[in-house]
Amino acid sequence: MGSAINKEAVAADKDTSANEGISENSVIYKVYPARWLVLAVCCFLALSNAMQWISFSSLSDEVQIYYRGRPANGSIDVSLVTNQIFQFVAVFTGFGGMYITDNKGIKTAGLLGTTLNVIGASIRMIASIPFIKSHFVRECLLHAGSFIAASAQAFFLVLPSKIAECWFPGDQRAIANVLSFVANPAGVALGTIVPSILFGHNKTIDSNSWMFFTFTLGMECLALFPFVLALFVRTKLPPTPPSASSAAHQNNIGFFKSILQCIFNAQFFIQMTLFAFAFSLLWSLMIFLDGPLKDQGYEMAGYPTAVCAIVGTLTSLLAGHIADKTRKFKEIIRVCTVGFSCSVITLRMFLNQPRTGLFDSIIVYTLCGCLGAFSIPQFPIGVELGVETTFPVMEATSSGVLVIFGSLFMFIIPFAQNYTEKLHLFYAQSWKFALDVTCGLSIVSVILSLFFLRPRYRRLELENAKLALENEEPVTARTAASDIEMR
């Protein structure tokens, strides 16, 4: 590690420090109130986009009739196609989002993400206008809007770690990551509760109904809010870095070399697998679970997913606070993988028996809450751990690789669940074998976290070393001359 310091700037800084009563040997970092505006853009973008992704999952029959005009009858239904578009697009646009975020900055990435999100929401709203009589045109517009909105994921899914590193001090990074990531399950909760309430007493939807237009208009308004906020973000970086690692971070490695460095890091590859399991197993299970619950006599609409998302949001805030205070990232991941596996296995065993009363419904809601409580905190904590493991690789690159890998799994696993259900192996109720596969994958994640997860906290090592060196020259502004070169 070396440093290149502008001598005149150092002299001026020393005079300023002396006048302010600050030791000329101290290293100066600063945080700005504007960091909360930058974080709010990412949070509301994630919330709005997640609501668009999940909004039709609990309305599969109504969506099928309104946009295609006929029942699925064994074909892939409209709601599943809409959901899978988001996973497919995230995989193939993620690399572009990583590159733009790391090389063009947070401001540009935020504007692009919010613009794509609001345009996609607008097209989806247009697809819901009853004046469009052709179901083919309706469905094409719906999927086109979903494709554009899904492209926004390339930005907001990699922004949290970048914002946390560039705008927040070391003792607030984990909670900043958590706030960004819990906006996603909060959007999932809205996307399941709102349609359940709006369509709950009006199950018969015809082609001339304005219900879908009203629903998508609400999502359009929600998508417009982060776009307006993004217009007020004035700079891609704060003038003064908030921490030693932020001051030290430069993109000297190169984009493609950074990706290869992440992939060939054995510990990071284990974290990729754990993150992918946590992300894909939870949401694919909550989408798939609607069928088994109805088969066993439960009529819950989208409320189990909402309970899962709400509880997971609360436990993520707690996990972020613990991580900021203790830095025990891997321990949190281990507890979460064990808890999630136990919850999904318990739910699988409980669903062997049909519903007999209200108490059974309470148990199902409780287990769904446990699924969210142990899975959702792994998203922000996993990203933060990934940044620590791959430092000095840029934050958007390391978190982007995690997200792309998770989206790839999320694209594959729903098809795997549907395929295993159609095999009709071992059980009269074929969905039981599909849930068995999910339980088996959760056990694999437990084994990986307990026996193979041994990360090194490289970023914390740098910051601890900086704290120990009290004779370093002060850093008062983020300039090329004052950054520390990482070698």
Q: What is the mean pLDDT of residues 239-255?
A: 69
* Helix axes of 255-263 and 78-104: crossing angle, nearest 10 degrees: 120
pLDDT of residue 210: 83
Higher pLDDT, 158 or 273: 273
pLDDT digits (tens, 9 = 90+) for 4-23: 333 333 333 433 333 444 44
Q: Are 42 and 179 in contact (CB under 8 A)?
A: no
Confidence label for 484 from pLDDT (cuts 50, 70 and 90): very low
pLDDT of residue 252: 62
Number of Cβ atoms within 10 Å of the Cβ of 66:
25
Of these ranges, 22-26, 257-261, 322-326, 363-367, the one predicted with the greatest mean pLDDT is 363-367
Higher pLDDT, 466 or 151: 151
Q: Are 36 and 169 in contact (CB under 8 A)?
A: no
Q: What is the mean pLDDT of residues 28-57?
A: 88
Q: What is the mean pLDDT of residues 421-429?
A: 78
Buried b (16+ CB within 10 A) or exposed e, 133-163: eebeebbebbbbbbbbbbbbbbbbbbbbbbb
Q: Is the per-residue pLDDT at 400 higher than 50?
A: yes
pLDDT of residue 177: 80
Residue among 54, 106, 105 at smallest CA distance from 79: 54
* CA 179-486-13 angle, 5° bins: 85
pLDDT digits (tens, 9 = 90+) for 112-134: 999 999 999 999 999 999 888 88
In terms of Cβ atoms closer than 10 Å to its own Cβ (0-12, 13-18, 19+), residue 231 is: exposed
**Distance of alpha carbon 123 from alpha carbon 418, whole angstroms:** 30
pLDDT of residue 478: 44
Q: Note the residue count of the chain.
A: 487
Q: Is the per-residue pLDDT at 27 higher than 70?
A: no
Q: What is the mean pLDDT of residues 69-77?
A: 69
**Distance of alpha carbon 149 from alpha carbon 139, whole angstroms:** 15
Phi-psi group of 297: left, alpha or beta (phi > 0 → left; psi -120 to 50 → alpha; rest → beta): left
pLDDT of residue 372: 92
pLDDT digits (tens, 9 = 90+) for 344-385: 999 999 998 888 888 999 999 999 999 999 999 998 898 889
Confidence label for 305 from pLDDT (cuts 50, 70 and 90): confident
pLDDT of residue 250: 57
- Of 240-254, 370-384, 450-464, least confident by mean pLDDT is 240-254
Phi-psi group of 301: left, alpha or beta (phi > 0 → left; psi -120 to 50 → alpha; rest → beta): left
Q: Are 344 and 371 in contact (CB under 8 A)?
A: yes
**Distance of alpha carbon 105 from alpha carbon 235, whole angstroms:** 9
Domains of the chain in sequence order: 31-242 (1.20.1250.20), 253-466 (1.20.1250.20)
Q: Is the per-residue pLDDT at 485 higher than 80?
A: no
Residue among 308, 411, 379, 413 at smallest CA distance from 86: 411
* H-helix segments, 55-105: 60-63, 78-104
- Of 32-36, 64-68, 124-128, 480-484, least confident by mean pLDDT is 480-484
**Distance of alpha carbon 465 from alpha carbon 221, whole angstroms:** 48
pLDDT digits (tens, 9 = 90+) for 206-237: 777 888 898 999 999 999 999 999 999 888 78
Q: What is the mean pLDDT of residues 408-426?
A: 81
Whether the CA torsion 356, 358, 359, 363 is positive or negative: it is positive
pLDDT of residue 480: 43
* H-helix segments, 199-242: 211-230
